[in-house]
Each structure stands twice: as structure tokens, then as C-alpha cells.
Structure 1
């Protein structure tokens, strides 16, 4: 039986929300925890820099490419079932990575983690809708869930540095007890969605075309970044990406079995959320990758020092989450998100302008503090915007659509930053890279005035933290 809660304060609500936040924390954590560990992984397994990039991209691509399938599966067979299966699969994939003895096994592990996360993440959003009634309870739950997700990216970078001091393998093995706790908590506290809310066919052909296009695009960008690869190979990969992308769009326009339900395409707030998640990940979301390389390659930090270097940023992400929850109620989610992008532009521009002009405290810390605060504000407000007008039966798919945009952006942006940085980056290349992320954040400031054109009223269902 489906029991919808109207408060986040009851023991049942606290238990369910804790489990769902733990799952979202794992997904975000595992995207960034590997950053600081990458040089150690490459040294131990003998991997080149181009192969190391795929440790990030294998996770992001399978995650982004199959998220919409995961959302549709949740809508069809039930979010609780999908949650339990995918969280156990995530733990098994982490165990494979922790004991990997060569590069291929590690890449398979990262791909399996991304595949599991593609089903786990939309299940968490679907379960929030199944557990909490629309209105203040659901908005508060989404705000807390979003705050934990944003914190996971920052904590991942810190924890990765600490664990790598012992062994990079612990960045994988740490997930095993956490996934077991999430599975046990899911059995105890999560609510199954009612049968009538479940959707129709799962669009596997569309998923294969979309994922294939993404994969070909990132392969093409990776080959562009490798000076030893003939340009013809990159051109062929990009051509394949265009062909598969056009096939995907044709299917979405004419097929009866589409990835994105046509009714969702008319939801303005969901469209704003999708664009926001893309630009969020292209700006402050990709900052972790850049700062990791900057600290270890240019500044000569150890993994532990690099991880601790993220601590101020992580603290400010949390403060940004807290501030956004209050601001959304007072001034509206769209205005809050615009302010978050503005603060992020200033922080990222400071990092680009002050790079190499002094110590960590003088030339990195100010930009990290500002961009971290903006990061937290954006993350919380964009999910409130993207899901607020979506019917309950499509919440899983809508959440998957937003996170698909986020991790598609991650894969493409990392490839673009790799091209800019080259094989032996100096301060000049890092300035250009931070400048690109600041430009993406500046574009995010236009979302509310251009897409959410109607003035926002102070909604009773918005967040109170």
C-alpha cells in the first residue's frame, strides 16, 4: 500500500529521506572521488592520460545515456524495486573496481557503476514523490535531497584525497558498506509506488541511439585532444555522433515509443531545469576536475593535500544549500538560481584571474569560497524548478532527464577541458579552462529571464529549510 506523508518530521519520513539522501550522496560522491586518485591509479596500473580520462567518462556516459531508460523502468515496474536492485549492483561494481588488477577491469567497473547509478538516481526521485505529498513536504524533501547531492560532489574530492593516501582502491571499496546500509534501509522505510502510476514500454532503441551518439561524440573529442591520433579518426567519430544523434531526434519526433514523453516537452519549468543542470555541470560542476589537476600537476600537492584543499569549497557548498532553501521561499526558485550563477561567475573568474599570483590562500581560496557557495545555491534551486510542475507519474522520468543533461555536460566538458589543457598544462591553459567554466555560468544567468519568462509568485509548495 502506498502511504503518502505530509511532513518530513515523522520517524517514517526521516528514515525514508535518510536512505534516499544516502543513495544520492553515493552517486555524486563516486563521480568526484576518483579525481584525486587518478594519478595514483595511472601509476599503479600503467595507464596513459588519455585512458585515465575514461575513468571519469565511462561513469558519466553510461550514467547519462541510460538515465532516461532508468526513469521509464522506474515508472513501469516500481521505483522501490529498481532502487533495491540498482543499489546492490552499485556495490558489486565498486567491489570489482577495488580489486581490479588492470585497466580494462577498472573501466568495466566504472561503466557498471554508471549503469547502476542510471537506474538508482531516478528511483530516488520517484520514491520522493511516492513518499511525500505534493506541496511543502515534497519541496522540503527535494531541497534536503539536493543539498546532500551537491555536498557529495565536494566531499568526494576531499575523501578521495584522504583515502588515496592509503590506497586508491579504497575510493571504490568504501562504497560496499554504504550500499548495504542503503539496501537495508530501503527494505525498512521506502514506500512502493501504486500500480496505476506505472508507464508503458521502455524505449530501448532510442536509448541505444542516444547513448551511441554521446559515446561517439566524447570519443571524437578525446581523439582531438590526442596529438598523436590522425584527425581522420576524430572526424569519423564525430560523423557517427551526428548520424546517431539525427536518428535519435527523428525517433523522438515520429515514433510511438519515445525517450521523453511529449507532454513533458511542453513543461516550461522542466525545460529550464534541464538547461540549468547542463550549465551547472559545465561550470561549477566541472571545477572539481580542474582544481584537482591544478593542485597536483601545477602546485605539486600530494593527494591528501589536494583533498584537503577542497575543504573550504565543500563547506561553502553546504552553506549555499542552506541559503538557497530559505531564498527559494522568499524570492522564488528562478531568482535564487540566477543569483547562484552570478556568484559562481565571480568565483570562477577570480580563479582564472588570480591563478599563479601567490599562495593557495591568496590566489585560490577566494574563488573557491565564492564558487562553492554559488554551487550550493544552484544545485538546490534547479531541482525545485525542474520538478515542481511535473505530474507524479512522470517524476522518475523528469528527474532522469535533468540528471542526463547534467552528466552529458560532464562528459563533454571534461573532453573540452582536456583539449584546452593539453598534455602538459601551464598556468595559461588553466586560465583559459577556468574562463570557459565562468562563461558557462554566465549563460546560466539567462535561464530565468529567457525560459521562465512569467513572473514567479511566492508558491506555498516551495522550500522551507
Structure 2
């Protein structure tokens, strides 16, 4: 154990102000998770009320996803440059205005613009939250506990969204937007009182690299659009292929700009931080297996294969959500004695085991005896992965780069999910049957096994490296 590890373990418990700050940040994370899941159950009612085409209904989801993924890195860098608390408040205000616009929308155009604005707001809010958690609490047990609470509240938001979406839609789908307003308002009012003030930059500090920011955002936007289109229309779709070609050009331009710039968007210290790169890889594999792909598969299996209504499907997800919350708590307790390497490896193995159980259950009758065991096991693994990968991925990152680091991990997470779902569409085919569902769950389980191997091989000795390399790199950057 290093000196820094012993110091972190001896750190005092957080003050009441820090605890209030964590409660505010967790409430904002709950808002993001709630908004992500609450919309799905409301889509049919939304489409019928506004006479939306099938494509427009799909883009109620995609407009949010594309802009969320596209603006994450820019949002993270902005949080590091102008202050995470400042951006936190601004993002919440935009989120509230966009939610109000969506709630009163009378047509597709306003609704889709509102969803895109929510995506931009979430893209700037997410890295601000993670940066504030990591800069408020010292590395070690205090930060691990804080991230476990943050992850647990986020998981409860996903669960609440599925059930709350069904309940609110019985009144009006508009309440799935308007429900966001009180959360945003409370967090905005609390932020100046309980969150740390932004660090003032020196007058000589270089401005944000606008060219790199535009190229990075355009690269992620276009690639996400291509993956979304491929999942809808197939990999041979002309629009999807054009997006992939444009992505290659934009990515090359971004890399050239980053190499020649004196103020790159992704600082050299981040490129050299091995545990951050491992965390990004783990995030991508997590979303391509026990998160995005599993949620997508289970939703289809419940409603298309077993005939559940949307509300019944939401209730059927509750055991999974409860186990995700439990997994976050378990990870918070295991990370100190076990370390990231062992905890994250075990978490991925549990996720893989749950997915294999789900693959074996697709031909069985009933829910409790067939699907429930797999949901319980994968849910615990899911929660453990989420907390562990963020603890491991950000632990060696200097405080001044926490926003960008969190954004890189979240971007990797979303990219993995988008790619996983696009590949899954090919596996399922146009008319999914028992065999294709089993193949889909097996594919996701295999990806989770790759995540376990990555965790075991990439986080060995990372804590010792962080005590020296991280500090030296920050000075060089």
C-alpha cells in the first residue's frame, strides 16, 4: 500500500456541506437517468397525440442521443475551463427550458428541437456532475463512497423512470417532460450554497481550442448518426455509409489538429493516463453488454416475445433496477479491500453469467422462473461495473481535467452502446425468434467476458502509478 493510499484511507468523513453537495449532484444525476428512461413508455401516446410518423417517433429518442453523445467531450472540456459549478447551473437551466418546451410542444418540430436541447444540456451536465464529485472528495474511500452513492441514485432514476413513465402517461405524456422541472429548479437553487466555487483561471490561460472542439463534436455527432441510421435501415444504407465516410474524414482532421495544437482539446496528460484509457474501454464494453444491449434485448423479449404491455414491462424491470442499486452499494464496499482490478473483473463476470442465464431462459415459459434469475445476477454485476469503472477510470486524473475525463468515459460508454445495438439488430434479424434472442444474449455475455479480461489486465498496479505519474503529467500539461 502506498503512502497516498494510507492517507486517503485515513481521510475524515465528509462535512455536512460536502454531504449536501453530494445530495445535490445525485439529484441532478437522478434527473438525467429519469429523463432517459421515462420517455420510452410515453412514445406511443406521444406519437398518437401529435400524429407523428414512425420515423419522427424514433427521432424523439435519437435526437436526444445524437446530441448527447456529440457534445460530451466539448462539455467536459468546458467544465474544466469555465468551472464545473458554473456549467452545472447553466446546463440545468437549459434542461429546464427544454423540458418545458417539450411539455407544451404542439408539433414534431418543436418536440424534436426540445429533445435535442435536452441532449446538449445532459452532455454538459453529466461531466460537470462527475467533475464536482471527484474534486469535492479526496481519492480513496471518501471518493469511492461518493461515487457509489452517485451511481446508486442514478440507477434508481432509471428504475423510477420506467415505472413513472407508465403512470404519468396515463394522465398525459406531457408530464414525462414537465416532471423534470422541479428537479432542475431545486438543484439550481442549491448549487451556489453547497457546491465548491469554480477555480478562477489566470488571465494568461489559453482559450478553448474552438477548431478542435468543432471537429470533435462533429465527429461524434456524425458517427452516432451513422450508427443510429445503421440500426434502423441496415449497414448498407446510403445515409449510414455517407456518415461513416464523413466520420473518417472528420476524425483524421481532428487528430491532425490535436497533434499540431498547443492547446489540444484532450490534454496530453489524459492520453498518457493508462487507467483512464482502460476505464474508457471498460465503459464501452459495459454499454455494449450488460447495459445498453441487455436493456434493449429484455425490452423486446418482454413485449414482443412474452406479450407484456409497456407498464407490465416497466414493472418487470424493477428487480433488475433494484439489483443494479444493490450492485452499486456492493462495489462501494469492495473497492477499498479488493481494489478496482478484482472488483471490476468480478463485476463483469457476474454480468456475463446473468446474460448467459437470460440466453438459456428465452425458450422457457413464465417470467419468475425463466427470466428473473438472469435479471438478478446481471443487475448486481451491472451496478458493480458502473461504480468500479468510474472509480478506476478517473482515479489517476488531475482535478483540473476531471470534466474532460468523465466526458471521455461517457462518450466511450455511449459509443459502445450504439455500436452494440447496431450489431445486435443484425443478429436479431427482421423477425426475431427464440434462437435469435438466445444469440443476442450470448453475444452480450461474450462482450462482458472481454470486459473482465480488460479489467484484470489493465488495472494491475494502477494505484501505485497514479501517485507519481499523474502528478508529473499534470505539471507537464
TM-score, reference length from structure 1 = 0.89
Retained in 2: the 8 A contact 1:163–1:171? yes
Q: What is the Cα deviation at residue 256 of structure 1?
A: 2.6
1:434 and 2:403 aligned: no
Partners of 1:8 and 1:161 lie apart in 2 by 40
Deviations 1:375-405 (A, max 9, x none): 1100111111011111111112111111121
Residue 434 of structure 1: CA displacement?
2.4
d(CA) in 2 for partners of 1:222 and 1:50? 12
Q: Does 2:104 correspond to 1:94?
A: no
Q: What is the distance in 1 between the residues matched to 2:13 and 2:57? A: 42
Is 1:374 aligned with 2:381? yes
Q: Is residue 36–residue 160 contact of structure 1 (8 Å, CA) maintained in 2?
A: yes
Q: Look up the SS of the partner of 1:122 in the other structure.
A: helix
Which residue does 2:333 correspond to in 1?
Answer: 326
Equivalent residues of 1:79, 1:123 under 8 A apart: yes
Matched, 1:347 2:354: yes
Alignment-derived partner of residue 236 in structure 1:
242
Q: Cα deviation per residue 1:392-430 (whole Å; 9 max; x = unaligned)?
A: 111121111111211222333333334444555433433
Match of 1:451 among 441, 455, 458: 458
Distance 2:304 2:110 in 1: 26
Does structure 1 conserve the Cα–Cα contact (< 8 Å) formed by 2:24 and 2:191? Answer: yes
For residues 350 and 102 of structure 1, the distance between their equivalents in structure 2, rounded to whole angstroms, comes to 43
Q: 1:397 to 1:406 in 2, by over 3 A?
A: same
- The 2-side partners of 1:436 and 1:204 are apart by 40
Q: 1:332 to 1:445 in 2, by over 3 A?
A: same
Gaps of 5+ in 1: 1-5, 461-465
Per the alignment, do residues 152 and 334 of structure 1 end up closer, same or farther by CA in structure 2, a change over 3 Å counting?
farther
Match of 1:296 in 2: 303
**Contact 2:86/2:198 (<8 A) preserved:** no
- In the aligned structure 2, how far is the partner of 1:89 from the partner of 1:289? 29
Higher mean alpha-carbon deviation, 59-68 vs 390-399, is at 59-68
Q: CA deviation at 1:319?
A: 1.1
1:463 matched residue in structure 2: none
Q: Which residue of 2 aligns with 1:387?
A: 394
- Structure 2 counterpart of 1:311, from 311, 318, 335: 318
Deviations 1:121-176 (A, max 9, x none): 12112222443344433332222222222333333323323333333322211111
Work out which of the residue numbers 146, 155, 158 in structure 1 matches 2:151: 146
Output one character per residue of 1:320-347: Cα deviation in whole Å (capped at 9) or x when no partner. Answer: 1111111111111121011111010111
Cα deviation for residue 258 of structure 1 reads: 2.2
Contact persistence 2:144–2:335 (CA under 8 A): no
**Distance (whole Å) between structure 2 residues aligned to residue 230 and residue 449 of structure 1:** 37
Residue of 59, 65, 69 corresponding to 1:54: 59
Aligned partners of 2:427 and 2:439 also within 8 Å = yes
TM-score, normalisation: structure 2: 0.87
Q: 2-side partners of 1:348 and 1:388: how far apart?
A: 29
In the TM superposition, what is the alpha-carbon distance from 1:435 to its structure 2 partner? 2.7
Aligned-partner Cα distance in 1 for 2:44–2:131: 37
What number of residue pairs does the alignment pair up? 454
Q: Which residue of 1 aligns with 2:69?
A: 64
Runs of at least 4 residues off by over 6 Å: none
What's the offset of the Cα at 1:107? 2.0
Which whole-Å CA distance do the structure 2 matches of 1:104 and 1:335 have between them? 49
- Which residue number corresponds to residue 253 of structure 1? 259
Aligned partners of 1:165 and 1:426: how far apart in 2? 31
Answer yes or no: is the 8 Å Cα contact 1:64–1:405 preserved in 2: no
CA–CA separation in structure 1 for the residues paired with 2:146 and 2:197:
17
Partners of 1:38 and 1:52 within 8 A in 2: yes
